[in-house]
Amino acid sequence: MPSAMTSGVTKDPTHYPVLRNLQFSPIKQGDDQLIVLWDPSGLSKEKLVLPLNFFFIVQHFDGEHSLPDIGALYLKRFGEFLLPSKVEQLVVDLDQKLFLEGPRAEMARQQARIDYRKYPTRPAAFAGRSYEADGVKLKKQIDGFFTSAEGPDFKPSENRGKLIKGLVVPTYDLKQAGPVYAWGYKELQEAQQPDIYVIIGTAHAGLENLFAVTDKDFETPLGVVPVERQILDHVQSSAPEFFEEDIAHQSEHAIEFQLPFLQTIVDKSFTIVPILSSFSALSLKDPIVRSSIDRFLCALRDAIGASGQSVCLIAAGELAHLGLRYGDSAPPTDFSFHRSMQRDLEMLKQVEELKAEEFAQYIQKESDQRRISGFSPIYSLLRLIQAEKGQVLRYDRGITDQYNSTVTYASMAFF
């Protein structure tokens, strides 16, 4: 739920409140439909459940509407007056929860950066929630994804023994999508394995600089995964701004969810280059965005080349987001899902053929109406990879709420 930042003169945030980049989901309690808000960046640990009329109010916390403006819109929409004291109290409550932009959120953000830099490693944030926290149980869980009915079959890969160049894998909940991850990682298991894995994952909370790199080793219940210092140092020396938002790694799961698979199937020591990314296909039309992307990818490509080592690029991201939770006016039907599936597979043909700009153009033609959240990591992989072909291995979807809101995802391999 992105907030619209004001331009020009800064307005008083107490009278022109700005909601931070929050996520929301509809929920049902009895006959009542409610909306739950939360902060994907992890800066706020709070959740807030709102009735629909209050959700209407906070949707106008965009820095452009004053509190009287919102009161007038509320009267027009609901046919009743909104007591100023009620909306003022809502502003105070949201500010205390760090849901609004302003001095309180900025102070919390600065403190969070300081605290993150003190950590010797990036701790496992989702162990015990999204996957097993005990190492033995986690190894068994990962193995189970490969052997489940939805997991990869046991036939040898046609690319067995070749040097693998890249993977596209989901970031969806491991308990549900684990077998789809396994389809990609089976290809890695049977391939000639490189020593370095450049993992580009979706930053679901957004990034000002489009990319965020961290130099911290990652902990999981299976041990510590070290970062590749040589490549990171090279990128940092030429493009240091892309390290400024490394705190984004603290609460994002896209990279963390890949590591137990790597630790389970890679049969030698390895290092990673952990990168988060966040930009849409539509934003590529902005020359400033395009220039920033080019600057980062050029720095990373040079660093990989200077290392003299082979790498596997891993793009971790999801595809379409359909339904009320993601802003559609109605839940997806079987027909709308199957139509979206056809479009996903048409779109992924451009990825299989390593056509980065055609991949972007496909989404641009749709005006990104299906919200392809994994665009930025997949596009970045296509710009960087030196491979002959890609192949879709498995495609599936997850249901995210009571209203059948749907996320689609796929595993792909590149050789």
pLDDT digits (tens, 9 = 90+) for 371-381: 999 999 999 99
C-alpha distances in Å from residue 273, one per residue of 199, 202, 246, 315: 6, 14, 12, 12
pLDDT recorded at residue 31: 83
Per-residue pLDDT reduced to its tens digit, 61-79:
999 999 999 999 999 999 9
Pairing of strands 271-277, 196-202: parallel
Phi-psi domain of 82 (left: phi exceeds 0; alpha: psi -120 through 50; beta: other): beta
In terms of Cβ atoms closer than 10 Å to its own Cβ (0-12, 13-18, 19+), residue 118 is exposed
Q: Which of 408, 406, 415, 393 is nearest to 182 (CA)?
A: 393
Q: Which of 121, 119, 115 is nearest to 217 (CA)?
A: 121
pLDDT along the chain (415 residues), means of 10: 43 84 88 91 93 94 94 94 92 95 95 92 96 97 97 92 97 97 98 97 96 98 98 98 96 97 97 98 98 98 97 98 93 94 98 98 98 98 97 97 94 98
- Cα end-to-end distance, the chain, whole Å: 37
Residue 301 to residue 213: CA distance in whole angstroms: 14
C-alpha distances in Å from residue 103, one per residue of 191, 331, 342, 347, 391: 51, 38, 46, 43, 48
Residue 404 CA to its chain's centroid (Å) = 20
In a 13 Å sphere around the CA of 224, the CA atoms on its Cβ side amount to: 9
In terms of Cβ atoms closer than 10 Å to its own Cβ (0-12, 13-18, 19+), residue 209 is middle
Residue 90 to residue 84: CA distance in whole angstroms: 10
Tokens, residue 255: 């990279």
Q: Which residues have C-beta within 8 Å of that of residue 30, sequence separation ≥ 6?
A: none
Q: Which of 378, 192, 185 is nearest to 263 (CA)?
A: 185
Pairing of strands 196-202, 311-316: parallel
Question: Looking at this protein, which amino acid is placed at residue 257?
Answer: F
Residue 250 to residue 125: CA distance in whole angstroms: 7
pLDDT recorded at residue 305: 97
Q: Which of 260, 256, 388 is nearest to 316 (CA)?
A: 256
pLDDT recorded at residue 7: 41
pLDDT recorded at residue 28: 85
Residue 203 to residue 275: CA distance in whole angstroms: 9
In this prediction the pTM is 0.89
Domains of the chain in start order, with CATH, are: 23-111 (no CATH), 125-414 (3.40.830.10)
Question: Looking at this protein, which amino acid is placed at residue 381?
Answer: L
Tokens, residue 147: 């052997």
Side by side, the strands of the sheet bearing 47-51 are 23-29, 32-38, 47-51
Strands (E), 248-320: 271-277, 311-316
pLDDT recorded at residue 10: 58
